[in-house]
A = this chain, B = another copy of it.
Amino acid sequence: IHEPHSSLSSLLVDAQGLQNQIDELSAFSDSPAPSVTRVLYTDKDVLARRYVKNLMGLAGLSVREDTVGNIFGRWDGNEPELAAVATGSHIDAIPYSGKYDGVVGVLGAIEAINVLKRSGFKPKRPLEIILFTSEEPTRFGIGCLGSRLLSGSESLANALSKATDSQNISFLDAARSAGYAKDVDDLSSVFLKKGTYSAFVELHIEQGPILEAEGISIGIVTAIAAPASLKVDFEGNGGHAGAVLMPNRNDAGLAAAELALAVEKHVLESGSIDTVGTVGILELHPGAINSIPSKAHIEIDTRDIDEERRNNVVEKIHQSAIRITETRGVKLSEFSIINQDPPALSSEAVIKAMETATRELNLTSKLMISRAYHDSLFMARVSPMGMIFIPCYKGYSHKPEEFASIQDMSNGVKVLALTLAKLSLE
């Protein structure tokens, strides 16, 4: 029988095996390599989920899925009745993105379990890996769908039973086509019971340039920035691009263009480097070169580590949208705040476990803020939470050039394994 601490001092990561799995998983994509497109409940998503469940099984985990497709792989500890220590991330990928975002935290977690098993370690508390459904908002406009439901969001459970995608496919039909939500309309079955987890840790690429630029191996996340998402629709009379004279126009597309530039302006007015805002979606109707846009739809993402400052930007965007309706004679047919979540703080105990693990592994580390949001933002509502960041090439993410080195991933897996081991003994 091993004494946990001595066996854990030399953790053997199969880093090349992990890289191979990442490459294999990236092939389940609806866009050509090197880009990855893997959208919730599509055929490629279903195949990728099967691939992960198979790896969980090979690692000796018992696998279960909930009604929206959150996948749980469990390793019972010596005291299986205790609250488990959990880790995990997502494998969905926005259109034309890369293969590391989320995936490192799922396949890396399975490898962390394999590392612990190879070392002879036996946990006291159970360890559980979670693959979260739809961290990305691609299909139904809601980010962190799975973790939000796990955290007990009644409003999301209600909204999802009526939600449809851009093809008018309902959330429940889409889930059923992927083998989920059978015989179930009530999504509150997904909610986690209080005290299910004693801690949650997510391993993720930084998605920012700091660790790489400073040559630091591990980022220990102390807080996650607060995101807000907005949907805005303008409507005008449209008409023929040749026949309607300029003074008679109320062009919904130009209204949207003005608002997009106003978003940038209001973000910069905050005066803080931590305030960001993006118009990632801008769609015109009818979308013909010889037709004045009669409708424009835009979606706005704005984030900050300071909730009040971010809410101030949202308010200014709203004022600009109203001002544009007045100057351009368009109608503001929708201005809705899809979500406006508060930031999350990491747990002191989890931070301490990550710091100790990093120190014991002789890795450089840095306390930092996550400017991207993650399933950890919602897991923080039901469990003490922490995140481990590893460097990524130039901070690139959400595009095909996204990259993390084998060495950095290996370091991340070691820190995760050791952190899980420590937390499982507490």
| Known contacts A254-B261, A257-B261, A97 near B243 by CB under 8 Å | no
Contact pick for A289, options B239, B276, B301, CB 8 Å: B301
Q: How far is the CA of A300 from the CA of B253 in the complex (A)?
A: 12
Q: Which of A141, A267, A280, A287 is packed against the most chain B CB atoms within 10 Å? A: A280
| A217 interfacial by beta-carbon distance below 8 Å | no
Residues on B with C-beta less than 8 A from A300 are: 289
| A291 interfacial by beta-carbon distance below 8 Å | yes
Residues on B with C-beta less than 8 A from A256 are: 257
**Segment with Cβ contacts to B, from A9-17, A157-165, A393-401:** A393-401
Q: How far is the CA of A36 from the CA of B399 in the complex (A)?
A: 37
| A336 interfacial by beta-carbon distance below 8 Å | no
Q: Is the CB–CB distance between A242 and B141 below 8 Å?
A: no
Considering only residues 291-325 of chain A, those with a C-beta below 8 Å from chain B are 291-294, 299-301, 303
Q: How far is the CA of A49 from the CA of B94 in the complex (A)?
A: 41
Q: Is the CB–CB distance between A399 and B284 below 8 Å?
A: no
Residues on B with C-beta less than 8 A from A207 are: 240, 242-243
Residues on B with C-beta less than 8 A from A206 are: 243
| A208 interfacial by beta-carbon distance below 8 Å | yes
Q: Is the CB–CB distance between B264 and A254 below 8 Å?
A: yes
Q: How far is the CA of A278 from the CA of B254 in the complex (A)?
A: 9
Q: Is the CB–CB distance between A268 and B246 below 8 Å?
A: yes
Q: Is the CB–CB distance between A276 and B241 below 8 Å?
A: yes
| A366 interfacial by beta-carbon distance below 8 Å | no
Contact pick for A246, options B97, B276, B373, CB 8 Å: B276
Q: Is the CB–CB distance between B278 and A251 below 8 Å?
A: yes
Q: How far is the CA of A247 from the CA of B253 in the complex (A)?
A: 26
Q: How far is the CA of A284 from the CA of B267 in the complex (A)?
A: 21
Contact pick for A242, options B246, B288, B371, B399, CB 8 Å: B371
Considering only residues 138-178 of chain A, those with a C-beta below 8 Å from chain B are 138, 141, 143
Q: How far is the CA of A370 from the CA of B260 in the complex (A)?
A: 34
Q: How far is the CA of A371 from the CA of B258 in the complex (A)?
A: 27
| Known contacts A268-B246, A286-B96, A395-B243, A254 near B279 by CB under 8 Å | yes
Residues on B with C-beta less than 8 A from A275 are: 246
Q: Is the CB–CB distance between A278 and B241 below 8 Å?
A: yes
Complex copy number for this chain: 2
Q: Is the CB–CB distance between B136 and A290 below 8 Å?
A: yes
Contact pick for A257, options B240, B260, B267, CB 8 Å: B260
Contact pick for A301, options B141, B229, B285, B290, CB 8 Å: B290
| A225 interfacial by beta-carbon distance below 8 Å | yes
| A281 interfacial by beta-carbon distance below 8 Å | yes
Contact pick for A94, options B101, B136, B288, B299, CB 8 Å: B288
| Known contacts A246-B267, A253-B260, A398-B238, A284 near B287 by CB under 8 Å | no
Q: Is the CB–CB distance between A241 and B280 below 8 Å?
A: yes
Residues on B with C-beta less than 8 A from A1 are: none
Q: How far is the CB of A117 from chain B (nearest CB, A)?
A: 33
Considering only residues 118-135 of chain A, those with a C-beta below 8 Å from chain B are none
Q: Is the CB–CB distance between B208 and A244 below 8 Å?
A: yes
Q: How far is the CB of A268 from chain B (nearest CB, A)?
A: 6
Q: How far is the CA of A299 from the CA of B244 in the complex (A)?
A: 18
Q: Is the CB–CB distance between B284 and A289 below 8 Å?
A: no
| A227 interfacial by beta-carbon distance below 8 Å | yes
Q: How far is the CA of A268 from the CA of B114 in the complex (A)?
A: 67
Interface residues of A, Cβ cutoff 8 Å to B: 94-97, 101, 136-138, 141, 143, 206-209, 225, 227, 229, 237-248, 251, 253-254, 256-258, 260-261, 264, 267-268, 273-282, 284-294, 299-301, 303, 370-373, 395-399
Instruction: Other than A97-B288, A286-B398, give 8 A-B pairs with Cβ distance below 8 A.
Output: A136-B288, A237-B396, A238-B398, A239-B396, A239-B399, A242-B370, A254-B264, A280-B284
| Cβ contacts A to B, 28 pairs, < 8 Å | A95-B288, A96-B286, A97-B286, A136-B288, A138-B288, A207-B242, A239-B395, A241-B276, A241-B303, A241-B398, A242-B276, A245-B273, A245-B276, A246-B277, A251-B278, A253-B280, A254-B261, A254-B264, A256-B257, A257-B258, A278-B289, A278-B290, A280-B291, A280-B292, A281-B289, A289-B301, A290-B301, A294-B399
